[in-house]
């Protein structure tokens, strides 16, 4: 299900920004930025954005921010850059300061370079914690594939079940 383009935005992203994306059926899904900047001491994602997408759908660009909770994540957290906003695939619509309840207690990402698991700061985890994404900047095609899988009700396990 391809994403629809909206008007692009060139803006500075902030932790707590709430954004929308519009799927082919014309409904909107909401997401939140939970971290901006480098990730970890190795700084593998300079300017990277750690974001969530929720299973909250709407016919317009607004939603009840109280519904954007970690138990309603549509897919695992992911890292991206400004490109989806600039091209109009994501659009920031609100801002809410992050509270501890807005953020997963433990982020987990599969790191293909070490064949292990790390958190958002590139610190090694002893074991996988769900939901687990990929420790990589998401390219648009890969993101759309994962979103399609999640919207179809198929689980997204850090892009491949093989990393489970």
The per-residue pLDDT string of the chain (164 residues; one tens digit each, 9 = 90 and over) reads: 679 999 989 888 999 999 999 998 889 999 999 999 866 666 677 778 999 999 999 999 988 999 999 999 999 999 999 999 999 999 999 999 999 999 999 999 999 888 999 999 889 999 999 999 999 888 888 889 899 999 998 888 664 444 44
Contacts of 53 (CB under 8 A, 6+ apart): 21, 29, 30, 31, 73, 74, 75, 78, 147, 150
pLDDT of residue 43: 64
pTM: 0.90
- How far apart CA 132 and CA 62 sit, in angstroms, is 28
- How far apart CA 133 and CA 30 sit, in angstroms, is 18
pLDDT of residue 160: 42
- How far apart CA 46 and CA 27 sit, in angstroms, is 32
Give the tokens for residue 139: 């390219």
- How far apart CA 108 and CA 133 sit, in angstroms, is 6
CA distances 157 to 16, 62, 103, 147, 163, Å, are 25, 29, 19, 12, 7
């Amino acid at each position: 299900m391809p994403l629809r383009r909206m008007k692009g935005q060139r803006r500075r992203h902030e932790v707590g920004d709430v954004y929308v994306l519009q799927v082919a059926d014309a409904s909107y899904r909401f997401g939140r930025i939970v971290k901006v900047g480098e990730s970890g001491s190795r700084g593998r994602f300079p300017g990277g954005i750690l974001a969530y997408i929720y299973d909250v759908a709407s016919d317009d660009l607004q939603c009840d921010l109280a519904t954007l909770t970690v138990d309603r994540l549509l897919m695992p957290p992911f890292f991206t850059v400004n490109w989806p906003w600039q091209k109009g695939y994501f659009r920031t619509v609100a801002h809410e300061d992050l509270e501890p309840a807005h953020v997963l207690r433990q982020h987990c990402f599969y790191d293909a370079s070490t064949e292990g698991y790390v958190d958002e700061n590139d610190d090694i985890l002893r074991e996988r914690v769900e939901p687990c994404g990929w420790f990589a900047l998401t390219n648009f095609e890969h993101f759309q594939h994962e979103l399609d899988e999640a919207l179809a009700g198929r689980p997204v396990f850090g892009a491949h079940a093989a990393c489970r």
